[in-house]
Each structure stands twice: as C-alpha cells, then as structure tokens.
Structure 1
C-alpha cells in the first residue's frame, strides 16, 4: 500500500513539472506574455538600442533587440519617477508644487540654476532637486521602498543621492516596461493620489487624439546611455513604451516619437 501511494505521488509531481512552463529567470519580467520581435533597425542605424511596446488591452508585446532589452543598465533620470512616488508617500515633499530653493551652485544646464518644484524638477530633469529629496527620504526608507517595488537589482549602495546615476542601481528595459505598466494601472504600492500626481507630472504631449506620458534619462558623464520610458493613451487604448540606446535621452525620445508615428499610435 505504501509503495502504491509513493508511486501515485511521484507520478503526480512528475506530471506537474512536465506541464509547467519553465521561464528563464533572466527574462521573467516578460513572463508568458505574447511577445513578437519586430525589425526597427532603420531607426537604430546610428545607435545600438532597443525598443519595447506593450498593448495593454491584449498584453501583446513588441520588441526590437530583445537581448539588449534584457540587459541591466543604470536608470539615470528615469528614476525620478519612483523617487517622486516615494518622496510623496513618505512626506519628503507635500505635492507637485513643493519648492526647493536653488543653492547658488552653477550647474551645466541654465534651467537648473533657479528654484524648482517637484513638478518642474521632473519636467526639466533637475538632478539637484531629486538628490535633495532622496536625502530627505533617507537610506532606510529608500531601501525599504526599492525592495518593496522589486526595482531592478535593488542596490542603493552607491550613495543616497547618487545610486541611480551611473552607479549601483540597475534594471533592464523589460523591468522598466513592467514598472511603467504598474504605474499606468495604478497597481504600485502607493496611494492612488500620489500615483495620479506623478502621472500628471509625466505628461509630455496632450493632443486631441493622444496623450504621451514619459521620462527621459541620460548618462551625463558621456551621453552614452539614454532612456525614454512611459505610456501612451489614444482612442484605441493604452500602450507602454521603453526606448534604451547608447546616446542621449533626447535622442531616445526623438526615436520613440518616430516609431510611434510609424506604428500609427500617435498621429499629428
């Protein structure tokens, strides 16, 4: 009888293991979604890069250069999005109008050399504002939230006001897409109010037929890494996008708009 029970249990376990999809941990951010490789090489003839587009109404994902899309990179200023969410949640800032005074230090972009709010700091990618907010959040709070979000490799050891800037924190373009999808759906572990505030700050274009929400990121040491990440709403639905290239975030943004036009997701 014991042998018979052992045989049945063993057979049952083998059956489960043999029918369960085995997902490579490296690409687990993409899960079991329908993914299609697309050829966008004409947009990346001068840059090594990747592009991800996910249609949220049917979970279809389109990827150019999936190998790069599953490679870790520092988030640079795209981290302003989770940074703002955390800052609002823990009370390091009150709202998108919370002002921080310029410290008088001349920085490389003229627009940075003045007082800013959380919203204008997002719009003009003012690093010093978000560094000051990160210091106010503090190491313990920051690590707790980064871990709760499972944000990339979760490594903030590079310093509370530096870890996302060509430093210790890294994530893949697939992980960026997953984070942006959760933000769009307001499924992140933040209050709805704070998620709506950050989404509002991310608006890049608000046209009659579509709205683009996004954030650029650039590795300023050499302009050799650029991001443009976010989502689009049009009359057909919503789409998450991620562009990552070995150039500036501005270049990533320009390429993204050209791709979205070619795919007829935005039309002027």
Structure 2
C-alpha cells in the first residue's frame, strides 16, 4: 500500500499492515558500531555499499532537530515548551499524537507535528544553516522539488538523505560535543534520548521509519527501519546505526523492530573481543 506522507491515509496504511499475516523478518541492510573516541569500526554487518548509501533519515532526524531547537532557545527543557495539537496536524500516530506535547512526549511518541513546529520556529534559512553546520548527510532540507515544504518533512521520504556511516560521523560529534551548539543542547539530548540498558550498557537513541523515494510518499511494503544512537559502559563510548528493510507491510513498524533487535544483539556486538 502506498500513501501520501501527510495524509490521514497513512494511519490506515499502518493499521492495514497488521493484517499482512505473520511478521516477516526484516532484512538487515547495515549495522555499524564505532568507538566514539577515534571512529574505529568495531562491528559491521552488511556490505560497504549498503552502509555508505544514503537513505531517508525519517525520525532519527529528531536528534538534530532537538539540538537545533535547544541551541536556538526554542526548546528550553524536557517539559518546555508545551504545544497543543490542532486539527489538521499529522495524527496517524493515534491518540498519543492528539495530546498537548512537550519535548519528552515528542520523543517518546515520535510526534511528527512537534518536529514540524520546531522546524518552522527555526525558519528555512536557519534550518538549512544548522543542517550544513552539522554536515548531516547530503545537508538538503529543501523538501520536495518546487513545493518549498522542507520545514514540514524534508527528513521523511523527501530531500534529506544520510548513510549509516554518516549517521556515525554525526553521532560521534554529538557525544564528543563537537557540534556548533550550546552545552544546554547536548544536555537536553542526553535527557530525551535515553532508552534503557542492554548488557550493562546505558543506551541512547532514536528510531525512524521511512521508505524509498523522495516525493513524500510512504510505502509500508518495503519500509526502512532505523535505530541510531550511542552507548556507554565502564568509560567506553560507542556509536551505532542499524538500518533494516521490510519485504512486506509488518507491525510493529520497522524502526521499532530495528531498535528491539539491536538492543537484544547489543552485548554480543559491543563486548566482542577487540582486535
């Protein structure tokens, strides 16, 4: 099933995907783990071509949006600002998306309209400056050609593209505090993106679900699922990116399954003997 990104049809597509039968195992296109200090790859799964190719970042782009918003003084803490849902906002995420939302709820429920409002508060010129200063993927937040809709979703099946290896480069700069943002922006990211423990590692990260194409259309049958982030244990810091792709519409979404599978696999990857 193919639907427009910002239409209510996406909610129907996600619901219908539950009827697709027994869940299919998503193909792992790439998993990469690197030492945050020196960039050394400590684990890689998938071909170099797949790990270097660029894909839509989808909701993993909430990481840079959070940094941008905090640096610009738009996001002032995990619970400020609170913005109210308005009819017409994307609501395919269900009732959780129709509630007053602060930064903590934004990340917990991956609320698309909160990302859009933050981007709009930045404005296109400043949004582009941050994407370029972060050297984030292809740095293109213009949106669909001729539509001038970058603030509404350049990061979801649109103009912005990033590879798993480029995700690691961005994440290394984040955890090493080498991006051109204020300390408060890093502090907010540490708070918002914590996801729990895996094998004694403290995990931070963000999921994302998108699909091929750059015209704002989501196709559940071959969805991409991301989970990217960083982990700490005993003084070590690692950054990671996993990208999977479905072969049929499957629930839960590909990003959530990428997260759950990486968290399960993490101890074996992170604690493997170092060469």
> Normalised by the shorter chain, which TM-score bucket?
0.7 to 0.9
List per-residue Cα deviations over 1:48-102 (Å, max 9, x = no partner): 4100011235643021122111001011000111011111111223222121111
Task: Name the CA shift for 1:238/1:189 in 2 (closer, same or farther; >3 Å).
Answer: same
Q: Does 1:149 align with 2:134?
A: yes
Q: Does 1:163 align with 2:154?
A: yes
Task: Name the CA shift for 1:81/1:264 in 2 (closer, same or farther; >3 Å).
Answer: closer
Unaligned 5+ segments in structure 1 are 1-43
List per-residue Cα deviations over 1:104-163 (Å, max 9, x = no partner): 457222211111101210121111111111111100110111111111111111121111
- Paired residues of 1:217 and 1:227 also in contact (CA < 8 A): yes
Structure 1 counterpart of 2:93, from 105, 109, 112: 109
Q: 1:258 Cα shift?
A: 2.4
Question: Equivalent residue for 1:140?
Answer: 125
The alignment partner of 1:100 has SS state of: coil
Task: Find the aligned partners of 1:101 and 1:46 in 2 and give their Cα distance.
Answer: 35
Question: Equivalent residue for 1:95?
Answer: 77
Task: Name the CA shift for 1:164/1:58 in 2 (closer, same or farther; >3 Å).
Answer: closer
Question: Equivalent residue for 1:68?
Answer: 50
Task: Name the CA shift for 1:46/1:164 in 2 (closer, same or farther; >3 Å).
Answer: closer
Which one has the largest radius of gyration?
1
Task: Find the aligned partners of 1:57 and 1:146 in 2 and give their Cα distance.
Answer: 23
Question: Equivalent residue for 2:67?
Answer: 85
Task: Find the aligned partners of 1:181 and 1:206 in 2 and give their Cα distance.
Answer: 20
List per-residue Cα deviations over 1:204-257 (Å, max 9, x = no partner): 005793210000001172341110000111125111110011141011112211
Aligned residues: 223
**Coordinate RMSD, CA, aligned:** 2.2
Question: Equivalent residue for 2:260?
Answer: 254
Task: Find the aligned partners of 2:113 and 2:142 in 1 and give their Cα distance.
Answer: 19
- Paired residues of 2:230 and 2:237 also in contact (CA < 8 A): yes
Task: Find the aligned partners of 2:256 and 2:199 in 1 and give their Cα distance.
Answer: 24
Question: Equivalent residue for 1:9?
Answer: none
Q: 1:259 Cα shift?
A: 2.0
The alignment partner of 1:177 has SS state of: helix
Structure 2 counterpart of 1:199, from 169, 186, 190: 190
Question: Relative to structure 2, which stretch is displaced further, 164-173 or 190-199?
Answer: 190-199
- Paired residues of 2:231 and 2:239 also in contact (CA < 8 A): yes
Structure 2 counterpart of 1:50, from 20, 23, 30: 30
